[in-house]
Structure 1
Amino acid sequence: MEKHFDSLPKDRQDQLMAFDRLLTIMDELREKCPWDRKQTLESLRHLTIEETYELSDAIIENDLPEIRKELGDIMLHLVFYAKIASEPLPNKTYQFDIQDVLNGVCDKLISRHPHIYGDAVADSEEAVKQNWEKLKLKEGNKSVLSGVPASLPALVKAMRIQEKARGAGFDWDEKQQVWEKVQEELEEFKQNFDIETGNAIDQREAEGEFGDLLFSLVNYSRFVDINPETALERTNKKFIRRFQYLEEASKADGKSLSDMTLSEMDTYWNKAKELGV
């Protein structure tokens, strides 16, 4: 349903004007700036990945000013891609602009939410997810899992695979069953090592069993409402903070890590834990 700009609430008018300002600046930069003129869809790709990770870091840190900044950077990239795609070029047979992008996602949201914009019923989050996957198959997806990007990091991919399989009804019933699977996979992993020496009996087989173990742990994390990617990243950051405390505190005491025993290092490490580092 089309709306007249003047009939919109003041805050919505301000939002639209801010978006129009960004589109105008993008037009000017693409025309006048040597760097912006040179960019292509391909050249922006790695920069967008970097910006996405920076947003992820800001979210982990719950740094709202930084989240606002990184959202702006990503918004710029989205507008940039649409601007490039809208430009007529030799041998270019397909074009779209930001209006096509926005209308496309709006149409998809409406079609994927028939419980809001149609007669379907979905009274729980799980029902919404199941409807979503069924609709994607009707739209032409050959597999429930075809929407999982091949280039996703393995940990994130594992969770997305499991979520999509659950949307199709392929999942465990109880978390206890999943925990039993974790223990089973741990035992199978342990069987691939000589416990006395720690050497793998079959390195490739051990790698496969370790992958199965990780996959089952990711599976269990869903049942206890833990995001494994977030959990691991928080642990990474905690380790970095404590190790840097170890470096700084030992240096302040005139010690060098290369000359310290593990026991001496543990003293600083435990102090970091006591201080809540």
Structure 2
Amino acid sequence: MTEKYNIDDLQYLMARLRDPDGGCPWDLKQTFATIVPSTIEEAYEVAEAIEREDFGHLPEELGDLLFQVIFYAQMGSEQERFSFDGIVHTLVAKLVRRHPHVFPTGELRGERREGGLDEQKVRDSWESIKEAERTSKGEQGALAGVATALPALTRAAKLQKRAARTGFDWPDIDQVLAKAQEEIGEVREAIATGDLDAAREEVGDLLFAVVNVARHLKADPETQLRATNRKFERRFAFVESAITGSGRVLEDAGLEEMDAAWDQAKERGL
């Protein structure tokens, strides 16, 4: 019978990997900074598995992401900064604090609240508690605490949401779309003047406006763009196959032929 491992085993494994006496050379030379790219990559692989509904591989991807947390915890313990137990304690305490509608006594196993919950009131309470936490950390301003390392589309959406809570927002989607159209016009004007630096800046404004459109449609811009990327890959693969299947290379086909194949891909629902 295969042995069933648990979180204690995972922590033991990590300690062995980082053991100066017989540990793994690669793991031993890592630092907090060097494994950040792996953490980000693993998080995206979790997202991709979910978006593809690849639930067979999702546990493996979640395990890879969990390993990143264990890695940080091991290094924190080695440097006597923090431990895995400390990470868990901080997380549970924060979640209990942010869910007074579930934990009215402020205790994990305290008295339960009876009755239904109003989702909007819960959301407002959550944001109010988070704002109080930011203030206690010395983070001032409505936009404080939005991580600069976030993907640009995600950060734009978060900045817009924060601003919207103060009343700084378009009242309806038509005005948001009009703003996006205005930004397209400004891109055209900058290009017409030959000022490419200005045109590039205007493209940034256009992207920000499009994120605003997604937000008003209650769509996550990162998720939507990843879906569109996958759709582009499927359709372009069809175009490529249609042309190379006749023994030619893509460069031998004109744009008109490739557009016709692209339309076929769309008709087939790719």
Please report the TM-score for the alignment, with normalisation by the length of structure 1. Answer: 0.80
1:229-248 pair list within 5 angstroms: 229-248=222-241
- Quick check: 2:42–2:64 contact (8 Å CA) kept in 1? yes
Q: Which runs of no fewer than 5 residues in structure 2 stay unpaired?
A: 107-116
Q: Does 1:51 align with 2:37?
A: no
Farther-moved stretch of structure 1 (110-119 vs 49-58): 110-119
Aligned counterpart in structure 2 of residue 130 of structure 1, from 127, 143, 153: 127
- Over aligned residue pairs, what C-alpha RMSD do you find? 2.6
Q: Who is 2:88 aligned against?
A: 102
Distance in 2 between the 1:56 and 1:255 partners?
37
> For residues 137 and 97 of structure 1, do their structure 2 counterparts lie closer, same or farther at Cα, with a shift above 3 Å needed?
closer
- Quick check: 2:240–2:250 contact (8 Å CA) kept in 1? yes
State the one-letter code of the partner of 1:34. C
1:4-83 pair list within 5 angstroms: 18-31=6-19, 32-35=22-25, 36-83=27-74
State the one-letter code of the partner of 1:27. A
Q: Which runs of no fewer than 5 residues in structure 1 stay unpaired?
A: 1-14, 89-93, 195-199
Q: Does 1:217 align with 2:210?
A: yes
> Structure 1 residue 98: deviation in Å?
0.4
- Quick check: 2:96–2:103 contact (8 Å CA) kept in 1? yes
1:163-242 pair list within 5 angstroms: 163-194=161-192, 200-242=193-235
Secondary structure of 2:18's aligned partner: helix
Q: Who is 2:111 aligned against?
A: none
> Structure 1 residue 33: deviation in Å?
2.6
- Quick check: 1:144–1:164 contact (8 Å CA) kept in 2? yes
- Quick check: 1:83–1:98 contact (8 Å CA) kept in 2? yes
Distance in 2 between the 1:84 and 1:233 partners?
33
> For residues 61 and 115 of structure 1, do their structure 2 counterparts lie closer, same or farther at Cα, with a shift above 3 Å needed?
same
Distance in 2 between the 1:178 and 1:106 partners?
39
State the one-letter code of the partner of 1:137. R
Farther-moved stretch of structure 1 (256-265 vs 161-170): 161-170
> Structure 1 residue 129: deviation in Å?
4.8
Q: Who is 2:100 aligned against?
A: 114
Q: Who is 1:12 aligned against?
A: none
> Structure 1 residue 193: deviation in Å?
3.3
Farther-moved stretch of structure 1 (103-112 vs 120-129): 120-129
- Quick check: 1:130–1:167 contact (8 Å CA) kept in 2? no
- Quick check: 1:126–1:167 contact (8 Å CA) kept in 2? no
Secondary structure of 1:114's aligned partner: coil
Q: Who is 2:114 aligned against?
A: none
State the one-letter code of the partner of 1:174. D
Farther-moved stretch of structure 1 (135-144 vs 257-266): 135-144
Please report the TM-score for the alignment, with normalisation by the length of structure 2. Answer: 0.82
> Structure 1 residue 119: deviation in Å?
8.4
Secondary structure of 2:147's aligned partner: coil
**Seq. identity, %:** 36
Distance in 2 between the 1:116 and 1:135 partners?
19
- Quick check: 2:236–2:262 contact (8 Å CA) kept in 1? yes
Distance in 1 between the 2:172 and 2:264 partners?
40
Q: Does 1:154 align with 2:148?
A: no
- Quick check: 1:137–1:143 contact (8 Å CA) kept in 2? no
> Structure 1 residue 212: deviation in Å?
1.6
Aligned pairs, number:
252
> For residues 192 and 42 of structure 1, do their structure 2 counterparts lie closer, same or farther at Cα, with a shift above 3 Å needed?
closer
Deviations 1:55-108 (A, max 9, x none): 2222222211222211100101101110111014xxxxx521001111111122
> For residues 146 and 262 of structure 1, do their structure 2 counterparts lie closer, same or farther at Cα, with a shift above 3 Å needed?
same
State the one-letter code of the partner of 1:249. A
